[in-house]
Amino acid sequence: EVKLVESGGGLVQPGGSLRLSCATSGFTFTDYYMSWVRQPPGKALEWLGFIRNKANGYTTEYSASVKGRFTISRDNSQSILYLQMNTLRAEDSATYYCARAPEIYYYGSSYYYFDYWGQGTTLTVSS
């Protein structure tokens, strides 16, 4: 059974830092792109970034809104995904989800989407 369990959320002051974790099990972690998505209260989903799989060198991509402040990494020996968040702002307050992105081969091309999501962990940035 595929499981993704986020942890590490909490209350942080503006300008502070926090690291979120996503513990995974039930699949070969290194085979998959992994991503972070957040959702402010009552608002839509926002993709933050992803880290590619072993075959693609574990490289990363970020949204413009967090590039330079957030860093995604992975511990492949323990199948854990991380999100390091620095210089936090009030607008970073949200529920943070990790999500798995399988590669789908379809008519000779590769596509990705989010097929498993964690339950989310909540970050509040406030003084």
Partner 1 sequence: QIVLTQSPALMSASPGEKVTMTCSASSSVSYMYWYQQKPRSSPKPWIYLTSNLASGVPARFSGSGSGTSYSLTISSMEAEDAATYYCQQWSSNPPTFGGGTKLEIK
Q: SS3 letters for 54-103?
A: HHHCCCEEECCCCECCEEEEEECCCCEEEEEECCCCHHHCEEEEEEEECE
- Of 17 and 31, which has the nearer Cβ to partner 1? 31
The CB-of-110 to partner 1 minimum distance in angstroms stands at 10
Amino acid at 113: Y
The CB-of-9 to partner 1 minimum distance in angstroms stands at 14
Order across the sheet with 70-75: list the strands. 3-7, 18-25, 80-85, 70-75
- Binding residues for partner 1, per CB under 8 A? 35, 37, 44-47, 50, 61, 63-64, 97, 104, 106, 109, 111-120
- Of 4 and 12, which has the nearer Cβ to partner 1? 4
The CB-of-127 to partner 1 minimum distance in angstroms stands at 27
